[in-house]
Amino acid sequence: MPSPPPPPRRQSSPPPPPKKAERRAHPRVDLLAQVQVNRRSEVHILPAINVSRGGLFLKTDPERTPDLTAGVEVELLIFPADGEGEDVALDAEVVRVERSTVPGRCSGVGLRFLRVSDESEHKLERILAG
């Protein structure tokens, strides 16, 4: 009697691509605050989206803030929206300009904090602690 044919071989699907490595050194937290961004004679008031010990992301249409490009240094003043936190003054550098067309993601600028004073660091820690 002939032996039965071998079972059909399943083709395995390719393995999923590796997840992108998280490049941020510090975890982010959502932040409800307005941020005054000063660069030379330009002043912008922008809403914060999130913040970490290393920087923050601000919502903006890059077309309306053409002076905020990667590599530009700015002075920030963070005004917590609840009115209970203290304002925080920081220097920062624009490290990313994001133009999003994806629903649920906003356009804006990512900033990395520079030269953080002890006082500003303590205020920022209070914001991060909630």
At residue 100, the pLDDT reads: 86
Residue 8 lies in a domain: no
| pLDDT (tens place) for every residue of the chain, 130 residues total | 566 666 655 555 555 555 555 555 667 888 889 999 999 889 999 999 999 999 999 999 999 999 999 999 999 999 987 776 789 999 999 999 999 888 888 999 999 999 899 999 999 888 888 7
Residue 112 lies in a domain: yes
| Residue-number span of the structural domain to which 90 is assigned | 29-129
Residue 12 lies in a domain: no
Residue 1 lies in a domain: no
Do 71 and 54 touch, CB atoms closer than 8 A?
no
Q: What is the domain-level CATH number for residue 52?
A: 2.40.10.220
Do 108 and 115 touch, CB atoms closer than 8 A?
no
Residue 62 lies in a domain: yes
Residue 77 lies in a domain: yes
Q: What's the structural domain count of the chain?
A: 1
Centre a 10 Å sphere on the Cβ of residue 3 and count the other Cβ atoms it contains. Answer: 5
Residue 7 lies in a domain: no
Q: Which residue type is seen at 69?
A: T
Give the largest CA-CA distance in the chain.
92
Contacts of 92-97 with CB under 8 Å at 24 or more apart are: 92/55, 92/56, 94/68, 94/69, 94/70, 95/55, 95/70, 96/70, 97/62, 97/68, 97/69, 97/70
At residue 7, the pLDDT reads: 60
pTM: 0.76
Taking Cα atoms as reference points, which of 32, 98, 110, 35 lies closest to residue 61?
A: 98
